[in-house]
Structures are given as structure tokens and as C-alpha cells.
Amino acid sequence: MSTHTIEHGEHEVGHAPSPPDRRNLLQRPGWIRGALYTAIGFGIATAFVTGIRSLGDLDPVWELDVLLTAWTVIVPLAFLAGMGVFSYWIYWVTGKPTQPEDHSGHGAESWKDYFRVNTDHKVIGVQYLITVFFFFIIGGLMAMFIRAELAEPGTQLIDPNAFNGFTSVHATLMIFLFVVPVFAGLGNYVIPIMIGATDMAFPRLNALSFWMLPIAGFIILASFLLPGGAFSAGWTNYAPLATQQPDSNLMFQMGVQWAGASSIATALNFLVTIITMRAPGMTFFRMPLLVWANFTTSTLVVLATPFIAGSQFLLMFDRVLHTNFFEVAGGGYVVGYQHIFWFYSHPAVYIMLLPGFGIVSEVLSVFARKPIFGYRLMALSLVAILFLGFSVWAHHMFVAGMAPWLRIPMMITTLLIAVPTGIKVFSWLATLWEGRIHFKTPMLWAVGFISMFVIGGLSGIMLGSVPIDQHASDTYFVVAHIHYVLYGGSVFTIFAGVYYWFPKMTGRMYNEALGKAHFWLTFVAFNVTFFAQHWVGLQGMPRRVADYDPAFANWNMISSIGGFVLGASTLIFLYNMLVSWRSGAPAPGNPWRALTIEWQISSPPSKYNFDEIPQVVGGPYEYGVPGARHVVLNGSRTVETEKPEPATAGAEH
């Protein structure tokens, strides 16, 4: 078929359409070329390692840990090249004429466009969300195996080594492949629109940052296929245990590197976008709090993530190159690994929380129909958490053998960081006070988050105290604490954000009854699962064990029952999202009567978001303020001046 007949949809009379040119098909970026390049990359990596080892008379030539290192670097790069992620940059670096942008890789005309390299921030946001929820389901299934094994003392389903593998991979997936990147997905979709931008600052880098993420996840899952089973040193991967693990431990180290590279690329993109692409009139103190939260989170990612990358590189050198950074017998400093790791991983707690704080601020203000109480103080408290987050890392090491003099200052800074966090909680409560509260599904998740996060925060203050931490360290009290912070905290805000922006992303309304059923079942099951673990932890039950004293059997059975109900509640969410996306009621442009910019355009937005640049004229939360408006679009006021709503102490359902 000629170019002419393709463009105009005409066929030559008497001739069937010509089959596609297979050679050109292999030259075009896409899954076929990606698979071909992957196979080529595997061959190159194998030949490189075996060739070098043969020339150096190293025995054996087929050293698995060295091969794994090469495979997990070269093969993913080959796959990305085949998918076309690097095409533009390769042309530019080699001095060849760059291909003109025909916008064929921007936007989605069909479902197939979500499975290729795309430069539209909205498509990338959906790609992120679908990918991370896939890993969320995988990690949740592992949690079901863990709770099934712990339902009774003794061995039920899996042996202790497999149990350690499930525990390690579960935590790794939930942290690095779900909670951290899911906020990048939500942010990718809404942040540019919220600030009046047509796209992210670096669309091609944005696409690359997404495609590195599934690579990280599949590298981590592939550890189950290696001799000895999955890595089992926990998600912290402490040395020297990590260097004594089977070769599958390398999959943790390399998977985390790919996930970290994805995070850094995304964070740099967000920072440049927020700083340079805000609409006229949008000063920093007219930005929605979600944008503030994303700005501080991205700063944290850029500053902190290189430290976990460094810790895993040094650990890999100890394994593969036989250095002695953390090997005591060779003069290494084993506690140094924990210092480097936690210098990232405690700020990472706020990387996993601050975007959720922004989501909750958006939801509470909209569904309480009130301005955010203390907006500027809320924004500045985010900045305070950014700085204080780097001063508390060693409270994870009170029993690790670090210098004793460091304990007291770390305890003080740990208690001090509760102040800006407390400011946010009191501001949220003050926003709710005497508001006209609409308990839609996003609001339920936001209010549920406040209650669960307060419980997690209080147990965190307890663990920040040296004597309590020495008693509770490595017990189920810590397991309960981290789940109240990261599930009751982060995951609750994620569900709030997904339900809140679902109409904007899909143009459909979700089923409200199913949304509320999902919340209440999750809320009850979550507390049944994890609240009892505070008690058994203080009574002495250690974490990360496949068997335990029969004295803890009843509480563990209760936790396991709650865990299975919690897992079942997720099925309601998945059904609601899939069915509503396909056949839900059409969503209006602004179903929540919100003031921020993303709600002033169609649902879903057009390919480039705006027909003309918005003009920001006020704050984003002035609900009930006569004459208040946030943005002007198309030369006219798009948000009608709201009539003041009388404050009521009750809730409007």
C-alpha cells in the first residue's frame, strides 16, 4: 500500500493490502524490537563477562553473581533502546539530524497507546498507576502467604527460608515499587494541570523514568527463580548478612538501583516543572498544597536517593569484587552500612508520606467546603520536615552498636520532627471544624488516614525514646508501627487520591456504594490485623520469624483473619475501578465543585490540557469566600463566585 493510500484510506483496485515490511517492523521502536534487543543484550552481557574472565584466567568462567550483575545492567538498557526510549538522545549525541517531533508519541487514542513509550504526562501517570497496582497485588498475595504461615505456631505452608524470602520481597515491592512510585503516578497526571502547564518540563525523561520502574520490579521478582530462592535479608538488606546470602541478593541491589534511578529522574522533572512552568499569577503561596508536597518530596528524593544507591553499590562491590567496605575480617565497618542506608531510608519515610499529606489537604478542603486552616504554616511545615528528616536517621540504630553518645541527640531530633507533623494534624482538624462535611469516598479515606496516622505517629514517638526502643526493637511492635504509618498513612491517602481524581482521569464516575464498602471493610480489617501486634510485640514476639511461642497463637490467628479480610477488600476496589472505567456514569468536568485548575477543564483533559494559558488570580481553597476565584480560563471566569455556606457542626451526607 502506498503512502498515498495509507493517508487517504484508499485501496488499489483488485489488490489485497501488502503485508508489512518485516525489516522495517524490526527497525521501528516497539515491543518486537524491544524483545529482539533484549535477546541481543543478554548475549552481549554473557559474552562480555565470560570473555573477560577467560582472558584473565579466572575460574569459573560462568560466575553467576558476575553474570547477574552484567545481565541486570546491559539487558534492561538494551530493552529500553529497543522500545525507543533513547532514540532522540542517540541521534543528538552522535551528531545526526534529530527526528522532527510529529507528536505521534504524545497522547492516547486507544488502549494500545498505554503500552508504548509515550510523552504525555497524563498517559505516563496512568501507566505508573496500573504498573504499581500490579506490584501492589503481587506484594499483597505474598502478605497472604505470610499471614497464613503465622496463623498457627509451627510450619504450615512454607519453610523458614521461603518465609524470609516472601517477607523480604513483600516489603521491597510495597516500598520501592508501590508507595514511592504511586505518588509519582498521581503527581504526573495532576501536577502539571494544577500549575497550568501543558506537560512536564522534560517529556522524554518522563517516559524513561516510567519504563525503568517495571524493570526494577521484574528484577526483584526474578530472584525467586535463582538457586536458593529469593533474597531473604529483609528490605533493609543489612551487611554482613547480605554478602552471605545466595546470589539472588544481587537482584535486590540492582532492582533498587533501577527504582532509585526512576525516582531521581521523576523528581528532577517535577522540580523543574514546578519552578519554571507555573501559570502567570501562580506564586509559590498560591500553589495547591499537593504541589508544595510534591516540591518538597522531589527535593528529598534528589538529595537522599543517591545514598541508598551508594550503599547498594558498596555492597555489590563486597560481593562481586571482594572488597571489604562492610566485612569486619577485612577491616570494614559493618555499622557504616546502616548509617548510609538509613540516611536515605528515614527521609524515604517522608517521601512516602508528604505527597499523601498534600492529597489529604486537597480532599479535606473540598469536602469540608472550607479554606485550609493555616495554609502558609502548612506549606512551611512541609519544608521543615524536609530539613529535619535528615537529622533523625540513627534512631533506627539505637541497638545496632553505634556510638552511644549519638543516641541522645537523635532522640531529641526524633521528638522534634513531630512538631511540624503535629501542625498538619491540627490544621486538618481545624479545617474540619464546623465545616459542611460531605462524606464521599475520598473524604472517608482522608479522615481515616488522620486517625490511623496519629496512632502510627504516637507509636513512632515511643520508639524514638531510647529505653522504649531498646525494649521493643525487632518485635512486632515495630511491625505494627510501620504498617500504621505506611498502610494506614500512605495507602489510605493513595486510595483517597485515586477516588478523588478518578473522574478526572477517566471521564467516568466510580460506584459510590462500592467505594464506601471498600473503605469500611479496609478500615476495620486493617485495625484487626495490626492493632493487636502492638501488644504481642511488647510481650516479646520477634518479627521476621516463621515460628513463634504458642502463647502468641490467639493474637496471631486474629491478625491472620484480619489480614485475609484486608486482602479481600482490595478486590472490591479493583472491581469498582475496572467496571467504572469501562461503563461508569459520565463524569462532569468538576463533580466536586473544586477550585483548583485541573477541575476547571474537561474530564478527561484534552491532549495538551488547555486551549490557552490560564491566569491565576487567587488562592486555591477560598471556599465560601464571597467573590473568591482561583483561575481565569478563556478570558472569562470559569469558577463561579460561591455563596457563603453557613458553617454547621454536623456532617452533610
* pLDDT mean by block of 10 residues, the chain; 653 residues: 34 41 60 93 95 87 92 96 88 76 75 92 96 97 96 90 95 96 96 95 95 97 93 92 90 96 97 96 95 96 94 93 90 93 92 95 96 94 91 90 89 92 94 92 97 94 92 94 95 97 96 97 97 94 93 95 96 97 93 94 90 90 86 58 41 35
What integer pLDDT is reported at residue 91 of this predicted model? 80
**The pairing of beta strand 437-438 with beta strand 651-652:** parallel
Q: Determine contact, residues 572/517, Cβ cutoff 8 Å.
A: yes
What integer pLDDT is reported at residue 192 of this predicted model? 96
Q: Rounded CA gap, 167 and 173, in Å?
A: 10
Cα-to-chain-centroid distance, residue 586? 29
Q: Determine contact, residues 251/220, Cβ cutoff 8 Å.
A: yes
What integer pLDDT is reported at residue 367 of this predicted model? 96
Q: Is 331 left (phi over 0), alpha (psi -120 to 50) or beta?
A: left
Look at residue 228 and give its three-state secondary structure: coil
Give the architecture (CATH level 2) of 111-583.
Answer: Up-down Bundle (1.20)
Inter-CA distances, 497 with 93, 178, 223, 512, Å: 40, 14, 32, 15
**Closest C-alpha to 559, from 12, 123, 56, 151:** 151
Name the percent of the chain in helix, strand, coil, to the closest 5: 65, 0, 30
- Chain region(s) in the chain for CATH 1.20.210.10: 111-583
What integer pLDDT is reported at residue 27 of this predicted model? 60
Q: Rounded CA gap, 190 and 103, in Å?
A: 21
Residues 6+ apart with CB under 8 A from 415: 461, 464, 465
- CA-atom Rg of the chain in angstroms: 26
Helix axes 289-316, 375-388, angle to 10 degrees: 10
Q: Whole-model pTM?
A: 0.91
Q: Determine contact, residues 486/352, Cβ cutoff 8 Å.
A: yes
What integer pLDDT is reported at residue 457 of this predicted model? 93
What integer pLDDT is reported at residue 637 of this predicted model? 40
What integer pLDDT is reported at residue 212 of this predicted model? 97
